[in-house]
Amino acid sequence: MIAELRKFINDTYNSTRYKNALLYLSENAGGLPKFKISETPVFISQNLLNSLKEVSNYIIDEIKKDSFIALTNAAIPAKKRVCGEESHPNFLAIDYAICENEKGELIPRLIELQGFPSVFAYQYFLSEAYASAYEIPKNLTPFFSDLDIDSYIKLFEKTVLGDYSADEVILLEIYPTQQKTEIDFIITQKIIGIKTVCVTQLRAEDKTLYYLLNGKKIIVKRIYNRLILEELTPQQLSEISISLDFDYDIEWATHPNHFYRISKFLMPFLNHRLIPKSYFADQIPSHILDFGNYILKPLFAFAGQGVKLNITVKDIREINDKQDWIIQEKVKYAGAIKMPEEAIKCEIRLMYLWPDENENPTLAINMCRLSNTRFMNVGQNAVHKWVGSSIGFIKTDN
């Protein structure tokens, strides 16, 4: 997206550089991720970044409104509502398709958003792997808001730990070693020292949560939550001994209710020139007759699960729980990343950290997904060159 930097990577790329990036990750992060890493980083122009920030700032203003809680109460299923909700999420992840306007300029279009952690630890290590192997110029950074490596880690640590020490905080997941994002859990422990605990290992005494480590009872004061209640299977639920309303003496980073509030559920309420029109499937306006211009999405699913790209009236009619689905205007991805063989499509996720006491979130780092197919899920692009998980760099003033 920054032409001279794209040319630099294209001209200097070879398979050894890519292998060295993977080697850096393997040696410094404890292994490789369970998903494809792209052969190329992304370079985000200032104009595109300004547009990305414009949309995200609008969304954040909507989240901060006094009416937000009442507006999104209906998003939380009654049996999934968790006690002790904080005033704001500690993490935001906002996903954009990179498209073209009528002038041929690259612009973002909102795809999804989540009040839930992303791979904040892994992305920092991925940027280091690219920078080392590809000799990326020193005036480029993956960080925003004038952060550098040290201040980024400090802000991440502050957001996760709150006022507690690392031994009082856990990263919570279900079967963490089976998750595709396990590498992020490993790096999180490496850089801030918290343990990863499976929810099936938690026990409760009255209002106190704990787990056993080498036979010793470890009290949990705060949870860095990576557990998605919506995705627990009946088998998994049967193995959990604590109450999932979590009415215990704990704090959250971030609270599970935010997963529902800040999600695709919010999109029909947003109105911005760079946000595709969206409607709940049970509230589709009568003037919409051509569903070919829309896609159908379940509200609470990640990684493209359940999405239907070519829908008809019949598809809508056959949905029983229409309130849990939206239709969303299709966007046309641009071939934004000009590689030697072809132009690659790109999504950019802006990732925000929002410590408990801060009035506003801080735009901290990003994640990119690259694809040469209609699917942007990195797990569906494993066999192709140039595609997969990546990160964007921006120019600094230095």
pLDDT of res. 219: 98
The upper half-sphere exposure of residue 215, i.e. CA atoms within 13 Å in the direction of its Cβ, equals 0
- How far apart, in whole angstroms, are the C-alpha atoms of residue 53 and residue 75? 26
pLDDT at 398: 58
305 confidence band (pLDDT: 50, 70, 90): low
The whole-number pLDDT of residue 1 equals 77
Looking at the chain, which runs of residues are DSSP E strands? 42-43, 91-100, 106-114, 140-141, 169-173, 195-198, 203-205, 208-213, 216-220, 222-225, 251-253, 278-280, 294-298, 325-329, 337-338, 343-353, 362-371, 388-390, 392-395
Region 293-317 average pLDDT = 81
pLDDT at residue 378 greater than cutoff 70? no
Q: Specify the DSSP element, H or E, that contains 317.
A: helix 313-317
User: At a CB cut-off of 8 Å and minimum separation 6, what does 240 contact?
Assistant: 199, 200, 202, 232
Pairing of strands 251-253, 222-225: parallel
**383 has a pLDDT exceeding 80:** no
For 293, phi and psi rounded to 5 degrees? -90, 10
Q: Name the least confident of 109-113, 204-208, 245-249, 300-304.
A: 300-304
Q: Confidence class of residue 373 from pLDDT cuts 50, 70 and 90?
A: confident
Helices (H) and strands (E) in the chain, counts: 10, 19
Asked whether 270 and 110 are in contact (CB, 8 A), the reply is: yes
- The candidate with the shortest Cα–Cα distance to 263, out of 289, 302, 291, 237, is 302
- Predicted local confidence at residue 30, as pLDDT: 81
Q: What is the mean pLDDT of residues 127-142?
A: 94
Percent of the chain scored above 90 by pLDDT?
81
Handedness of CA 319, 323, 325, 328 (dihedral sign): positive
In this prediction, residue 290 has a pLDDT band, given cuts at 50, 70 and 90, of confident
Q: What is the pLDDT of residues 79-120, one digit of tens each?
A: 899 999 988 999 999 999 999 999 999 999 999 999 999 999
> Would you say residue 130 has pLDDT above 70?
yes
